Chain A
């Protein structure tokens, strides 16, 4: 009988680069930058790392295939390295690989790295795959973009809950304004400028009804974690260390895309993965027990509906919670504490680890101006793909034994 991952693996070090348009560096240098912070934080030596995982998504315009870019950049000496790719969950997948390897007893100390260089394409937005996105997909799937695919949530949500387009648009503006306010407090964030609700509403439309400020930054960056067993963490002299409470993943079966049971208004994967994560972590009432969250706010509407799929806002209740400021830094469950994808930025493979990095800083009281009062349990969430077929990953972290 599976017993879950809770408190079986400790995070003893983390690093994260400044995210942004890092014209000065490629993925190779970004990985070194994140790793230097991480290994110093962990207080171990590079030779202590026995296996490593690399999460990247857009390898065609980035590092290329395999985990060699990781082993070559960090000069990891003939150890096991694996590249994982699962859309925007790639960073969390890298963490899963490292965490499960430690939990299995196969290794003592592992590295999880996520990195992405998105600004080597020559244009804004995420890279367009064209016919390289799958030979059959190319023959029929509309030329969707990320904003265009997620924007459809808004049309379906408004129709289902009979909310006016203007009311929804206003709530979405509040979602983005909150993240901008948080991002402004973060020296490593890509976008560090507070933006008003009025500015957000007046921005040009990217994909109806989403405007420019409803979309997250397209950024370069890397983040990483060193994980080990709680016993080794103690042996290394770590006190009050952070452990993994839950790691869950759920992928679409094609039901959303092909079976007429989904209204297009939410994420069926998140809805399920979150319940499994709460069970694994022993969380009974997430709205009360989760201290803070970093969710996949690739677009304002994604964050908005995710509040319901995480079972924090009731179905149809996200609008009220958003307008009440429940997810603001001083709200009931602060969300996007570090600025989120919206403002910290979204180098795809790095994002999952960047979210855990913020939870890690907060739990250790090292979040400076954004520091929350005594957070206990942090949740991170990634959503890769599209509302109609996607990969959802959820991680819950907290102090060991808490």
Chain B
């Protein structure tokens, strides 16, 4: 049986209150009040589609044997690199076995389901044993329009395989149709959107029923057999109307998450699907359809194994971990949509030596250190000579992962002098349980979190953006653990 073995989700902790957008920009665009309910998720300044993808994939791999993953498909329309495989960065960050197939699926909002179908084919065909699909999006919009309100940031991940399947894929139905509700030129920052009424009536209202009926017919399942129906559509009313037209009851329709998160782009079909899986029972049939120049519809049946899936954060856990942002300019600043004075200090050179990055990729991207064979001391970064002053053995270290090792704060500060998008710049030394320590940036953190002994966990985050060269640099940062 081929299908989903595990899932993971990530919604950034920051939630921009939509009324904050309206309060700042309502004078200019009063119509946006119509969609100003609730909150939208927003990336911290050091998050993007790549860091969210890593977070969701790590969540997905909880309790799984990641050494078996032999395919990774990254799905997004906003990955940071146009030519440097983003999936390869994700695979390195996850410290996966290098003998794997990686591919980026991009340039359409439907790519997460497309990536899923491709992964399923690889598993069914027997060429791959364990395939990780991860979708993430952080879409930019111009200020003060509906899309800024509708959109959110987020990521979702599914692990596919043939053993311990929690949801079997009964079938899929794909449609590729060049319906251009919006587009973004390859060198443009923002989408160009056509009239919403047309998108609604000619787009969602025709394409979604077509693929839904297609997959149901193919699998010989009727709409009434579904426990849940998942499809993203930021027109809240149309979302319900389309479902109703298909004969889907309100209890079957999975919420589009407008009030709590917003539409997370290419990830959203999977984000919504995971929110359904989190509530699902064995035997449930779930239909998932995406939307973007056509659609892929996927039909699943949940198995008994879902009860055995190790606990994870998921979408539910991510949504519960929230911090409200009611300062709209902070959203603009975090996304570099607003030019502030950063001072001459901020002009320090920012070139990354690719040779250095390559030699140290396991440490920088994968957060892999070492453990000394002679004395057992864990250390990061791993150097040729063991750090233990009573040991000092040369080339005695085996690779050791630190990404999932809990840590505590040893020293800290909150620095107002350091150039930061979100001052004060908080950092300090964290010490890992079982040995090893590192001087680390802190993120998703308040001053009140900073205490010697505070428990922290490590997350893959953006460190620097070299604007001149278009290079995004990543490393691991310490983030407060939720306190028990």
Q: Inside 8 A of A125's CB, which chain B residues have their CB? A: 345, 417
A132–B351 Cα distance when bound, in Å, is 8
Check if A141 sits within 8 Å of B439, measured CB to CB. yes
Check if B389 sits within 8 Å of A155, measured CB to CB. no
Query: What residue of chain A has the Cβ atom nearest to residue B452's Cβ?
Result: A159
Q: Which of B357, B387, B427 touches A259 (beta carbons < 8 Å)?
A: B387
Is B411 interfacial (CB-CB < 8 Å)? yes
Q: Inside 8 A of B437's CB, which chain A residues have their CB? A: 257-260
A388–B430 Cα distance when bound, in Å, is 12
A156–B447 Cα distance when bound, in Å, is 16
Min Cβ gap A251→B in Å is 13
Known: A139-B356, A208-B424. A131 touches B349 (CB 8 A): yes
From A140, A155, A207, name the one whose CB has the most chain B CB atoms within 10 angstroms.
A140
Q: Which of A138, A145, A152 touches B412 (beta carbons < 8 Å)?
A: A152
B367-397 interface bits toward A, Cβ cutoff 8 Å, 1 = contact, 0 = none: 0000000000101110100011100000000
Is B350 interfacial (CB-CB < 8 Å)? yes
Q: Inside 8 A of A236's CB, which chain B residues have their CB? A: none
A245-262 interface bits toward B, Cβ cutoff 8 Å, 1 = contact, 0 = none: 000000001110111110
Is A401 interfacial (CB-CB < 8 Å)? no
Check if A131 sits within 8 Å of B475, measured CB to CB. no
Check if A143 sits within 8 Å of B379, measured CB to CB. no
Q: Inside 8 A of B355's CB, which chain A residues have their CB? A: 135
Is B414 interfacial (CB-CB < 8 Å)? yes
Give B397-432 interface residues, CB cut-off 8 Å to A.
410-420, 424-425, 427-429, 431
A71-114 interface bits toward B, Cβ cutoff 8 Å, 1 = contact, 0 = none: 00000000000000000000000000000000000000000000
Is A40 interfacial (CB-CB < 8 Å)? no
Give A193-209 interface residues, CB cut-off 8 Å to B.
204-208
Query: What residue of chain B has the Cβ atom nearest to residue A123's Cβ?
Result: B344
From A121, A125, A130, A159, name the one whose CB has the most chain B CB atoms within 10 angstroms.
A130
A127–B355 Cα distance when bound, in Å, is 26
Known: A207-B414, A260-B437. A142 touches B425 (CB 8 A): yes
Check if A142 sits within 8 Å of B414, measured CB to CB. no
Q: Which of A136, A142, A156, A259 touches B452 (beta carbons < 8 Å)?
A: A156
A141–B389 Cα distance when bound, in Å, is 23
A149–B412 Cα distance when bound, in Å, is 9
Q: Inside 8 A of B353's CB, which chain A residues have their CB? A: 131, 135, 138
Q: Inside 8 A of A207's CB, which chain B residues have their CB? A: 413-418, 424
Is B161 interfacial (CB-CB < 8 Å)? no
Is A148 interfacial (CB-CB < 8 Å)? yes
From B377, B410, B424, B463, name the one whose CB has the most chain A CB atoms within 10 angstroms.
B410
Check if A136 sits within 8 Å of B411, measured CB to CB. no
Min Cβ gap A16→B in Å is 28
From A127, A155, A206, name the one whose CB has the most chain B CB atoms within 10 angstroms.
A155
Q: Which of B351, B411, B436 touches A155 (beta carbons < 8 Å)?
A: B411
Q: Inside 8 A of A153's CB, which chain B residues have their CB? A: 411
Query: What residue of chain B has the Cβ atom nearest to residue A141's Cβ?
Result: B439
Is B283 interfacial (CB-CB < 8 Å)? no
Check if A258 sits within 8 Å of B379, measured CB to CB. yes
Known: A128-B345, A151-B413, A257-B439. A136 touches B419 (CB 8 A): no
Q: Which of B357, B429, B435 touches A139 (beta carbons < 8 Å)?
A: B357
Min Cβ gap A219→B in Å is 17
A142–B476 Cα distance when bound, in Å, is 10
Q: Which of A159, A206, A258 touches B453 (beta carbons < 8 Å)?
A: A159
Q: Inside 8 A of A140's CB, which chain B residues have their CB? A: 363-364, 381, 463, 475
Check if B413 sits within 8 Å of A260, measured CB to CB. no
From A125, A206, A259, name the one whose CB has the most chain B CB atoms within 10 angstroms.
A259
Q: Inside 8 A of B383's CB, which chain A residues have their CB? A: 254, 258
Q: Inside 8 A of A282's CB, which chain B residues have their CB? A: none
Is B441 interfacial (CB-CB < 8 Å)? yes
Q: Inside 8 A of B352's CB, which chain A residues have their CB? A: 131, 138-139
Give B332-374 interface residues, CB cut-off 8 Å to A.
343-346, 348-353, 355-357, 360, 363-364
Is A144 interfacial (CB-CB < 8 Å)? yes
Is A330 interfacial (CB-CB < 8 Å)? no
Check if A259 sits within 8 Å of B412, measured CB to CB. no
Q: How many residues of A contact B (CB 8 A)?
A: 47
Is A263 interfacial (CB-CB < 8 Å)? yes
Is B36 interfacial (CB-CB < 8 Å)? no
A263–B408 Cα distance when bound, in Å, is 12
Check if B415 sits within 8 Å of A147, measured CB to CB. yes
Is B171 interfacial (CB-CB < 8 Å)? no
Check if A148 sits within 8 Å of B417, measured CB to CB. yes
Is A331 interfacial (CB-CB < 8 Å)? no
Is A129 interfacial (CB-CB < 8 Å)? yes
A143–B425 Cα distance when bound, in Å, is 8
Is A122 interfacial (CB-CB < 8 Å)? yes
Is B80 interfacial (CB-CB < 8 Å)? no
A143–B436 Cα distance when bound, in Å, is 21
Min Cβ gap A151→B in Å is 4
Q: Inside 8 A of A156's CB, which chain B residues have their CB? A: 410-411, 452
Check if B429 sits within 8 Å of A152, measured CB to CB. yes
Q: Inside 8 A of A258's CB, which chain B residues have their CB? A: 379-381, 383, 387, 436-438
A141–B410 Cα distance when bound, in Å, is 16
Check if A208 sits within 8 Å of B447, measured CB to CB. yes
Check if A143 sits within 8 Å of B419, measured CB to CB. yes
Check if A253 sits within 8 Å of B425, measured CB to CB. no
Q: Inside 8 A of B441's CB, which chain A residues have their CB? A: 142-143
Q: Inside 8 A of B450's CB, which chain A residues have their CB? A: 155, 208
A130–B351 Cα distance when bound, in Å, is 8
Is A345 interfacial (CB-CB < 8 Å)? no
Known: A135-B356, A155-B428, A255-B387. A264 touches B380 (CB 8 A): no
Check if B439 sits within 8 Å of A388, measured CB to CB. yes
Min Cβ gap A250→B in Å is 13
Query: What residue of chain B has the Cβ atom nearest to residue A152's Cβ?
Result: B411
Is B94 interfacial (CB-CB < 8 Å)? no
Check if A260 sits within 8 Å of B436, measured CB to CB. yes
Q: Inside 8 A of B343's CB, which chain A residues have their CB? A: 123
Check if B349 sits within 8 Å of A130, measured CB to CB. yes
Q: Which of B344, B418, B419, B427 touches A121 (beta carbons < 8 Å)?
A: B344
A158–B439 Cα distance when bound, in Å, is 19
Check if A143 sits within 8 Å of B420, measured CB to CB. yes
A144–B280 Cα distance when bound, in Å, is 47
A255–B364 Cα distance when bound, in Å, is 20
A143–B420 Cα distance when bound, in Å, is 9
Give B56-71 interface residues, CB cut-off 8 Å to A.
none
A350–B70 Cα distance when bound, in Å, is 58
A253–B389 Cα distance when bound, in Å, is 8
Check if B425 sits within 8 Å of A152, measured CB to CB. no
A206–B379 Cα distance when bound, in Å, is 31
A207–B473 Cα distance when bound, in Å, is 25
Known: A128-B345, A131-B348. A142 touches B416 (CB 8 A): no
Query: What residue of chain A has the Cβ atom nearest to residue B437's Cβ?
Result: A260
Check if A144 sits within 8 Å of B414, measured CB to CB. no
A316–B436 Cα distance when bound, in Å, is 26
Is B117 interfacial (CB-CB < 8 Å)? no
Check if A152 sits within 8 Å of B387, measured CB to CB. no
Is B440 interfacial (CB-CB < 8 Å)? yes
Query: What residue of chain B has the Cβ atom nearest to residue A139's Cβ?
Result: B364
Check if B410 sits within 8 Å of A263, measured CB to CB. yes
A294–B86 Cα distance when bound, in Å, is 53
Report, nearest first, the 6 A-B pairs whose CB atoms are least far apart: A130-B348, A148-B415, A159-B452, A152-B411, A264-B411, A142-B427
Give me 16 other A-B pairs in contact (C-beta within 8 A), A206-B417, A253-B387, A264-B429 excluded.
A123-B345, A129-B349, A131-B348, A132-B349, A135-B356, A142-B425, A152-B412, A152-B413, A153-B411, A155-B450, A156-B452, A159-B452, A205-B414, A258-B380, A258-B381, A260-B437
Instruction: Provide 17 A-B residue pairs closer than 8 Å at the C-beta atoms, listed in order of the A residue.
Output: A121-B344, A127-B348, A132-B349, A139-B357, A142-B427, A145-B417, A147-B415, A147-B417, A155-B412, A155-B413, A159-B453, A205-B424, A208-B413, A253-B389, A254-B383, A258-B383, A258-B436
